[in-house]
Structure 1
Amino acid sequence: MDSKISNIQRLSNPTAYSFSVAGFVALMLLMVGSVYYATSTVDYIWRWYKVPKYFMYIETVTIWADSNGEVKEIKANGDKFDVIITDDLGDHTYTVPKGSFDLDEGDFTSPGDKIAEYEGGWKPGLLAIGLWITMKISFISTILGISLGIIGGVARVSDTPILKWTAITYVEIIRGSPLLVQIMIAYFVLGTTINKILMMNGLPKLDPEWYGIAALSVFTGAYVVEIVRAGIGAIHTGQVEAARSAGMTYFQCMYHIILPQALKTILPPLAGQFINLIKDSSLLGMISIRELTKATREGITTSLQTFELWILCAILYLMITFTLSMCVQYLERRTSTG
């Protein structure tokens, strides 16, 4: 027996494995300690106690008078009160909770006077809204990007010139230009034209989110085309020939024979592409879509909690991408065992 032991065999030794785990833990502790030291030495007042309101908060509802008037009547309405104020335009009724107002019948009100103030219940905070919009846009763009990529990938390997050349042109144009430029064109050029046509026909304008979704889907689809093409290319051509000789059409062959096998090959690069899509959605703030990054910037502008909110923003993106990675790994195990 050869007395030499390979490096892989040494690492498989329980003692070496334990030392390796201890080394990893020590490295992580060193990183955490370094971050803690850096945050404790910087001249900054940390206000983590204000962070929860960016996820959920109790809304404070304030009702203001908008004209000169007089409190005509205050009467009970169940567990609330109706405050009736009359002015030149007539009577205005405000139904408010007990104890939320400090008015008596006969009092006069001026524009800007507070009529009532009370708690209106729990509302989603700025980061919660941004997180939801990011997840919604990313999910829809992922579905559309996969659809475009599969169609384009099948067309890319086709022998039909109109299909193949169209797919190549699409891929080269989209991959050769920055995503930010594409978002601007989609919103300010195509969006303006489409919305103008819709309004001329009496239809409502499309929300900016849909132009952002379109730009992300088209951009991601171009990369998925090449991923699908590589996955199809990894399948032996004899399977295509066998399927065609059995009477299948080109698209039947792709749907039933080639694509299911190519899925195992294309899953890892697809995961990486869609993780990039989630992060690329941060560019949609340029067209006034309140996704997670724009919501973070708005929160920083109003509160000046720069470090806290940017750290939270990074953690939220990490949670989304890590969850997606875990789902893809699960799919990989299912397809490998299947």
Structure 2
Amino acid sequence: MSNTEKVGPVKGINKDIIWKAVYVFLLIGTCAGFYWATTQTNYIWHWNRLPKYFYFIDTVEVPAEIEGRVASITHAKGQTAIIVKDDDESEHYTFPGNDVRVSEGSFVYMGDVLGSYEEGRIGLLTDGLIITIEVSLVSIVLGILLGLFTGLARISANPCLKWIAITYIEIIRGTPLLVQIMIWYFVLGTIINNLLAKAGLFQIPELWFGVASLAIFAGAYVAEIVRAGIQSINKGQMEAARSLGMTKITAMRKIILPQAFKRILPPLAGQFISLIKDSSLLGVIAIRELTKATREAVTTSLMPYELWFLCGVMYLVITFALSMFVQYLEQRTAEA
């Protein structure tokens, strides 16, 4: 009898581990290659200057608004009060701190600095980021409402509603967003504000024309997504609901739309992520969103590499957060 022992099969190396290692290697290689490329450009990096574009401490000077003598200077509860008098009038100035540049009895001219104080302010990029988020959120909400009603009109049996929806969708989807923004701002915006001015009413800021252009643009794409989602539901669902005595509107609201919502959620997320990035086009009509704020910062600081990288990362954070939120909604709807 042979004393040879049976040897079991040797387990191979997990292929997933190999491909993950390849991914890490490629990522590190890409970063290293990019770093090497930047060293060949003779560019001096200034990452330490970036925080001021988010938040900074500004020194605010308090100028005299009249010409006269400083009548009194008082300090109380961390505030400084200065009174300047001339022959006919007096001015009272109050500001925090005790940094006073004048003394009692001294003569000051209009524009002379009486004192100063430090005040925290949001930076240029933070301001642009806030506007981008606000514009995107409002446009998304309006785009959903417009797209929902247009999508329902698109599959309506009423030929008037159907052809209005088709006309709107084809015109908006067939023209560039940049052109639509220009039309809204320079044509429709001018006409609307002129009519309001003649009626003695307030003027609409350019921000809302930008929101309108984005919302209407998104609404056309949302309408097609909604239409496709509704038509993907088996027609028997509607027939069964109608046989139970539901009206068409009730069946659509309680039976069809909840099922369609689960299917259209991923393409809706993609559309809204694109909308956030498309908001960068609003800079052409003097809306200081994130991209325009970055251009202004680059112009004044001459730091294109750092600021444009930072701008890209900020857009990535917004879109990634939205993507995670949509994934959460998908999980909730799947469990429901």
Pair in the same fold by TM > 0.5:
yes
The answer on whether the counterparts of 2:182 and 2:285 sit within 8 Å (CA) in structure 1 is yes
Unaligned runs of 5+ in 1: 1-12
CA contact (8 A) 1:141 1:213 kept: yes
Q: Which residue of 1 aligns with 2:269?
A: 271
| 8 Å Cα contact 1:131-1:292 kept in structure 2 | yes
98 and 211 in structure 1: CA distance in 2 versus 1, 3 angstrom threshold: closer
Provide the C-alpha distance between the structure 1 equivalents of 2:306 and 2:289, rounded to a whole number of angstroms: 18
User: Is 1:74–1:104's contact at 8 Å kept on the other side of the alignment?
Assistant: yes
Question: 1:15 and 2:14 equivalent?
Answer: yes
Partner of 2:40: 41
Deviates more, 1:38-47 or 1:265-274: 38-47
Deviation at 1:282, TM superposition (A): 0.7
Cα offset, 1:98, TM superposition: 4.9
Distance 1:89 1:179, change over 3 A: farther
Helix, strand or coil at the partner of 1:83 = strand
- CA 1:54–1:147 in structure 2 vs 1: closer, same or farther (change >3 Å)? same
Structure 1 pair 85–266 and aligned structure 2 pair: CA distance change class (3 A): same
1:66 CA drift (Å): 4.5
Amino acid at match of 2:177: L
Given that 1:264 and 1:335 are in contact with CA atoms closer than 8 Å, whether structure 2 keeps it comes out as yes
Equivalent-residue separation in structure 2 for 1:58 and 1:97 (angstroms): 14
Matches within 5 A, 1:58-97: 58-87=57-86, 90-97=89-96
Paired with 1:98 and 1:229, the residues of 2 have a C-alpha distance of 62
Q: Secondary structure at the match of 2:201?
A: coil
Distance 1:44 1:166, change over 3 A: same
CA distance in 1, matches of 2:95, 2:257: 61
Measure, in 1, the Cα distance between the counterparts of 2:227 and 2:77.
67
Alignment-derived partner of residue 137 in structure 1 = 135
- Alpha-carbon distance between aligned partners in 2 of 1:283 and 1:89, rounded to the nearest angstrom: 53
Residue 184 of structure 2 corresponds to which residue in structure 1?
Answer: 186
Question: How far apart are residue 252 of structure 1 and its match?
Answer: 2.0
Residue ranges of structure 2 left out of the alignment (5+ in a row): 1-11
TM-score calculated relative to the size of structure 2: 0.91
Out of 166, 169, 194, the position equivalent to 1:168 is: 166
Determine which of 287, 305, 327 is the counterpart of 1:289: 287
1:4 alignment counterpart: none
Deviations 1:44-90 (A, max 9, x none): 22111111111111121112235543223223344333222223652
Structure 2 SS opposite 1:60: strand
Distance 1:232 1:78, change over 3 A: closer
Q: Is the 8 A contact 2:97 2:117 kept in 1?
A: no
CA contact 1:154–1:254 (8 Å) conserved in 2: no
Aligned partner letter, 1:113: D
**Match of residue 325, structure 1, among 307, 323, 326:** 323
Structure 1 residues 196 and 89: alpha-carbon distance in aligned structure 2, compared to 1, 3 A threshold: farther
Which of residues 205, 208, 213 in structure 2 aligns to 1:207?
A: 205
User: Is the Cα–Cα contact under 8 Å of residues 273 and 319 in structure 2 kept in the other structure?
Assistant: yes
1:216 lines up with 2:209 in the alignment: no
Equivalent residue number for residue 300 of structure 2: 302
Give the 3 Å change call, closer, same or farther, for CA 261–62 of structure 1 in structure 2: same
Aligned-pair RMSD on alpha carbons? 1.8
Could you tell me how far apart the structure 2 residues matched to 1:139 and 1:97 are?
A: 37
Q: CA deviation at 1:257?
A: 1.3
3-state SS of the aligned residue for 1:170? helix
Distance 1:161 1:89, change over 3 A: farther
Give, in whole Å, the separation in 2 of the partners of 1:79 and 1:290: 35
Rounded to whole Å, the distance in 2 between the matches of 1:236 and 1:14 is 46
Listed one character per residue, the Cα deviations across residues 203-237 of structure 1 (whole Å, up to 9, x for unaligned) are 32222221111110100010111111111121111
Q: In 1, are the aligned partners of 2:131 and 2:290 still within 8 Å (CA)? A: yes
CA-to-partner distance for each residue in 1:278-333, whole Å, 9 max, x for gaps?
A: 00101111111111111111212222221111111100000001111111122222
Rounded to whole Å, the distance in 1 between the matches of 2:290 and 2:88 is 44
* Residue matched to 2:116: 117
CA offset at residue 96 of structure 1?
3.5
Cα pair distance change 1:75/1:337, threshold 3 Å: closer
Deviation track 1:81-131 (CA, whole Å, cap 9, x = no partner) reads 3222223652122224454123122222234432212212x2211111111
Q: Deviations over 1:146-181 (max 9, x none)?
A: 111111111111221011111111100101111111
Q: Alpha-carbon deviation of 1:139?
A: 0.8
